[in-house]
Structures are given as structure tokens and as C-alpha cells.
Structure 1
Amino acid sequence: MSLTEELVLKRSKADSLESVRTLNCWGCSLSDVQLLSQLDNLEVLNLSGNNLSTLKDLKDCTKLRELFIRRNKLTDFSELAHLAQLKNLKVVWLNGNPLSEATSYRSQVAKMLPQITKLDNIELSPASESGMGSGDRVLEAVQLLLRELNQTQLETVRDTVTGMLR
């Protein structure tokens, strides 16, 4: 399915493409988002839960600050090159895409998108940008694990860590 002007205006509650600053197209089965090149003032974009395999149509969204593109079909890190010139882009969510399964995922994204400060809701540290050390890899693994735990499991981890620190 293609992104249409009608869908953009409906989802953004805007009266023109020029006035769209935030767009949420989560779960719209989109595979074509060429229309994004016409959204000159777009700052926040949610394309999570779609069928996108390329980021090429985002390269002209120069005001974009936040991009949520979880659970799509992005497999190749080279697609991130389309975001490299977006200097205002600070927050990116990519988890749930095939490329996020790579062992070097966070460091690869940090190298290709040095302007971002947060990836998948986790702050990027200077160590991430220069290539993570083993301590950073452990911290990243713990953070990813904690995101997957339910409340009871989190309380157990908290109690265990608190006991260890006493």
C-alpha cells in the first residue's frame, strides 16, 4: 500500500501537506512512502508496523527530529545512509527490523548516524559512537533484557541487585 495525501491529512489532522509536523502511520501496511518527500515541515514520524524495506524516501525530510520505524522489513545497514544528512534527527527506533538482530547493531547505527542521541529508547554513549567496549556491550545486553521483562520480573531483578549492593 502507498502513502497517500488523503491518509497523511487524515492521520495528521492537518489541512495541507505543508502544515504536517507530526505523522503517525503505525500499522498501515505501507510499503511505499514516496509522498514523504513533499512533507517539508515533518518533525516526528511513526512508520512502525509496516512493510518498509527502504529508507530512501526519508532523505529529504530535513526537519525530521524523531523517527519510529520499528517492526518493518529493513535488512541492510546501507539503508541508514539515507538518514545520514538529516542533521536534526536525534531519536530513532529501529528494533524489530531484521537488521536489529545483528550483533554489531548499536555500534553500526551509531557510526552511520552520528547525529542521533537515542536509539530504541536508549541513550547513545560516546563509547557507542566510537565502537563499544566490552562493558558497554554488557550494559546494552542488560538494557535490552530489562525491556523484555514484565513487572514481577523487574521487581525480582531490582531486589537482587539491591541485595548485592548492600
Structure 2
Amino acid sequence: MIDFVAPRDGEIIGKATSREDAWWLCSRYGLKPHPLTDASEVRLEDTESGAKVWTVPCEHTKYPYDRIAFENRRRDGLASLENGLPAWPIAEENGIAFQTFKQRLNRGWSGQRAATEGVREMVPNPDDEWEAIALENGVSVRAYRSRVQAGCPEAIAATMGLSWRKW
């Protein structure tokens, strides 16, 4: 079951499914939960409106200015999974770059799909001799193809390193 999370005597900051997740969310947002080693002090309490809220004892009840915590809060608000939790932490765990995640959302992908679907791998063309040479020289298939598409001759695209634009 998903319930709201709030630092003790503070406002709701997000949602979590367990006391560990609630503690982790406060830690991720820079609120410095106590104790810093475990989540045993986190309590599930009823509010006046009847909703349940994980209350976490924290050093701060509002967000302190911390660049990383600010980015985490902003990114967590972009999309959510089907169960209502933020999608960005899952995408981060799956090794999906933030720009890729954001572009997927802009294309209309669901938060669940954007966070969990793997990155497409480009398969080399066995009939393209310059592509094989590019792979031998440590140039990826994606880099080789984008160089050729940008107008670089195949021989240069396959053999030059990062300075290929100076040809």
C-alpha cells in the first residue's frame, strides 16, 4: 500500500510503500533523517483527514538548499509509475540517462515505460566493410553512422578518433 511521507511536523513531500522507502525519500531530499543508519523511528500515522502518512524524524522539516536534493525533487516530479511512486529513481537504477528519460516523456511515453524500457542497441551491418573497420578502431556503430550522415567520408569516419570534424 502506498502512503504519503512527511518529515515530523512538516508537510507531505512524496509517497512510499514502506518505512525504509519513506526514510530513503527524506534522505534523498536532503532532510537528514534521524537516526542516519536505520529507519526504525519511522511511523505510519493517521491524519485528521483519514489518510495515513509515514512520519520521519528529520533535522529539517522543510527543504534546505542543497543542489542535489533540489534536482532529485525536480526529477521525481516529472512522472510516476503505475503504482504512483516517482519514475526517475527506477530509471536511474536501470542506467537510463536523465536526458533520455526526459525525451521519452516528451514523446508521450508513460513514466513506467520511460523508466523501465532498455536503451536500443545498434546492431552492426556485417556487409559494411567501413563499419567493421570503425569497430576495430574503437568507434561505435552509432558514432560511425552519425558521422557518415553528417557528411563525413566513410574512410575518415571509420578511422579518425574524436577529431573527425577537422577533416
Specify the TM-score bucket, using the shorter chain as the normaliser: under 0.3
TM-score by length of 2: 0.23
TM-score by length of 1: 0.23
Structure with larger Rg: 2
